[in-house]
Structure 1
Amino acid sequence: MAEYILRALGGDDLEVFSAGTDPRPVHPLTIRVLQEIHIDAGDAVSKGIDQFIGKDFDYIITVCDRTRDQCASFPGHHTPIHWGFDDPSAVEGDEENQLKAFRRVRGEIITRIRNWIAVANK
């Protein structure tokens, strides 16, 4: 979710990649809640961090604590940033309850990215 939101809010000035330490298929509710805000993530696929070894990054932004710990030793010179968000796919219950979690996390991601972009562009 964060990858597509950062692409949408960051514009052409940012090159954005996303990867996980344990890639799983993209949750259908991720696609749905992004579509609600007019972001098309229909081509989203999960990628592992191994495929980015050797690539230079200015920032590595982690969005969950487990990933932060595992990415702490990612090679190269970059600024690490950690934003801890709940995993909405871990929420149990009916679809409406899950949608509320995905929407809440989507909102938190948007707020964090907007704030980061405002500070980074100063």
Structure 2
Amino acid sequence: MNILFLCTGNSCRSVLSEGTFNHLAPEGWQAISAGSQPTGTLHPRAVALLHRKGISTEGYYSKSWDDLPVTPDIVVTVCSSAAGETCPAYLGPVLRTHWGLDDPGHVVGTDEQIEAAFERTYAIILARMHAFLALPLEELQADRNRFKTELDRIGTLLP
């Protein structure tokens, strides 16, 4: 199963989600990330945070949803509608859910405040990934409606 974490710029939240999921995922599951308007670069603080957590970013780059190496089975949008962002809507016959996250890359303040925002975003992502991977995934693949309900519920979880 391929999961696409989708945002607008594909530089921070979607990359943090991709890396975290791939680090924890069972065999046969893989995440990719993309953006509707990719920035072309990964946010250096996102990359540094993943490395501090022991998560590889080898081969990761900011890419368009038009250039995906695989077709996703599940699309998780991670932009934050509360922040006034326009979250892209992926078109295609996939299971879709929204796990809104504020963009730590837009936080203004001291290094400590910015770093705290990145750590908070990572903590939310990590909690959601653990909840996702705790689901009876094989069982849910046969019941798309229940799978969608569970995915939507996970999108509301906070650590």
Who is 2:118 aligned against? 102
Who is 1:58 aligned against? 73
- TM-score of the superposition, structure 1-length normalised? 0.85
**CA deviation after TM superposition for structure 1 residue 13, in Å:** 2.1
Q: Which moved more, 1:99-108 or 1:22-31?
A: 22-31
Q: 1:86 aligns with which of 75, 92, 102?
A: 102
Who is 2:89 aligned against? 71
Q: Which runs of 5+ in 1 are unaligned?
A: none
**CA deviation after TM superposition for structure 1 residue 38, in Å:** 0.6
Q: Deviations over 1:16-70 (max 9, x none)?
A: 21101121211111011111211122542101111139x53220111014464x2
**Which consecutive segments of 4 or more residues in structure 1 shift more than 2 A?**
65-68
Pairs aligned (count): 118
- State the alpha-carbon separation in 2 of the partners of residues 83 and 103 from structure 1: 17
Structure with higher strand content: 2
Q: Per the alignment, in what secondary structure is the counterpart of residue 60 of structure 1?
A: strand
- Report the AA paired with residue 8 of structure 1: H
- State the alpha-carbon separation in 2 of the partners of residues 109 and 28 from structure 1: 18
Q: 1:35 aligns with which of 31, 51, 54?
A: 51
Q: Deviations over 1:94-115 (max 9, x none)?
A: 2221111001000100101110
Q: Quick check: 1:13 aligned with 2:28?
A: yes
- TM-score of the superposition, structure 2-length normalised? 0.67
Q: Per the alignment, in what secondary structure is the counterpart of residue 42 of structure 2?
A: coil
Report % sequence identity: 28
- Report the AA paired with residue 54 of structure 2: H
Q: Per the alignment, in what secondary structure is the counterpart of residue 119 of structure 1?
A: coil
